[in-house]
Chain A
């Protein structure tokens, strides 16, 4: 099938696409064609021309710019070695760090957690193999009911409906044409309901160790069932795992998520993690009008002032802010720690996170309109 021979000069450019694909950057065939056309258009007069053409036409996501450049160097300049190695290992694009290329710096003062930075020795690092759960039946039942049970709001898209927002003039005209221009009936348009965004913030620190696996399995089920769902984990740093959890197969998704998160079972810095979350506008935007569910025991190391102020901020953006803690399993539980006490006024719901069933209840429980 090698009848069609490429001109020799074109071979490296076409082969570059293969290199990219092998390293997890998706490139469509027509993008390769455009790339070739672009290179031809530009001359090319320098390596810079080729690099810029590659960026413009092959469109790697910003998070993968470093990897892309390293691969480019390796492919066209033959500069294999350290640069490639190091950027390959950081190729995971799911951390807060992904925003760096765009000029965002997650909080970086000395005592604040460097989200996405290489973990320091003092941070307990461990890789986790998530065990398959026995709550499979529960989760699949949740998946069935969730699309109907998750909260909705009226969207801005118009569909034929009984409750009227405006008239469907297009259909009215069509009906009228059938009756020689006589309008017999005015069809109506209403607003199409739209599922609210769901935002899960999951504590994976040491104190939540027993439930971390189950929480992620729950998060996977929610990601699959909801129209729009974002999932972040936090411990000593903040990690976006939405992309990993979007994989259909649960085991694969959990393995991908487990590989992404690198601060399993460490300490907690809830305040810092949430500040990091809110300070990336793209992430902070996910919370707007959303059902925000924080799964955490709320045990904050040190001063809780940062935690209080960010929870307050989060509450103003969210439609509902729910806090689920495994400590609430005990019937004698009262939110008595200073940290929990201080955030209590901002929560719409404080619930139990000790079993998956409780998590589901917590997510689906309707809460009253927040006072003030």
Chain B
């Protein structure tokens, strides 16, 4: 894959439609050996990108879901304390190295570092973690090394493929952004979204896909607390298709399956007065 276009093609074969800039960013990240930082609102397919990329590269995906309070023992490594304790007891007078490999438990980041050839590391939703964890990431992302006090520094023989995602619930540290190749994923335009729907959900008529893409596009313009993402659009298209096959009339199927797209009572009641007209318009 020596061109972004070829990567985009490969991703398409893995059922992921990437636009030019995403393909370029992903290609650059692979070619330059830098982590890829993806930002975007929930539901635009950030995690999917990582899955598709790992599929294309034929590597397993190691996923590290971030949360508040995530620390070294959950992200990097942990010592197997009970076994260390047993080893000390069993050794008696003999010397024993309780910091050897057999007592080291790999966590996602160390695992990716040790097997750069067959893993893609996905660090998901970094914005959920705190600044402490971001600082920890800096060493890892710039040099691909991990310092274990009892063991010294472990460095990667080759740079692993790392993908970071953020929902932008808070701003990430500049130093982190600087170390990465960056791409902001926006909602796709209706044209592309229709193609995504047809690709992701099998056997959906083009007419349905287009109507659903137009409808979610319109819904995203409204001040909703949970605007429908791409996954919702795909689900909605499938629901419409299913109900349509069961014999429900065409524009009405959208209304009956609205619960797949709008999953918030407040949003539903906010949209209720205008929903019929909106759906009739896009379904026409």
Interfacial residues, chain A to chain B (CB-CB below 8 A): 26, 28, 30-31, 34, 37-38, 41-42, 48-49, 52-53, 55-57, 59, 62, 65, 101-108, 155-158, 169-170, 172-173, 176-177, 180-181, 183, 228, 275-276, 278-279, 281-282, 284-286, 309, 313
Contacts and interface: CB of A to CB of B under 8 A. Distances in A.
Contacts of A101: 184, 186
A65 B20 CA distance: 16
A56 B221 contact: no
Contacts of A30: 178
B246 interface: no
Contact of A56 (B21, B170, B220, B226): B21
Contacts of B20: 48, 52
Nearest to B90: A181
A59 B178 contact: yes
Interface string B128-156: 00101000000000000000000000000
A-B interface, 4 closest residue pairs, ranked by CB to CB distance from nearest? A156-B69, A279-B223, A59-B182, A181-B88
15 contacts: A42-B4, A52-B21, A55-B25, A56-B182, A57-B182, A59-B178, A102-B184, A102-B187, A103-B187, A103-B220, A108-B221, A157-B132, A170-B79, A180-B88, A281-B42
Contacts of A172: 81
Contacts of A313: 225, 266
Contacts of A56: 21, 24-25, 28-29, 181-183
Contact of B178 (A31, A53, A55, A62): A31
A156 B68 contact: yes
A169 B81 contact: yes
Contacts of B69: 155-158
A104 B34 CA distance: 29
Nearest to A39: B28
A123 B181 CA distance: 42
B174 A275 contact: no
B105 to A, nearest CB: 12
Interface extent on B, as a size class? 35 or more
B284 interface: no
A176 B85 contact: yes
A34 B37 CA distance: 15
Q: Is the interface of A mostly helix, strand, loop or mixed?
A: helix
Interface in B1-51: 4, 20-21, 24-25, 28-29, 31-32, 34, 37, 39-42
B181 A279 contact: no
Given A53-B24, A57-B28, A156-B67, A107 B223 contact: yes
A276 B223 CA distance: 7
A49 B181 CA distance: 15
Nearest to B70: A156
A34 B182 CA distance: 12
B63 interface: no
Interface string B162-199: 00000111100010011011111011000000000000
A155 B129 CA distance: 11
Contacts of B187: 102-103
B24 A49 contact: yes
A281 B178 contact: no
A170 B178 contact: no
A181 B40 contact: no
Nearest to B217: A103
Contacts of B67: 156
B41 A173 contact: no
Contacts of A59: 37, 177-178, 180-182
Contact of A52 (B24, B170, B186, B227): B24
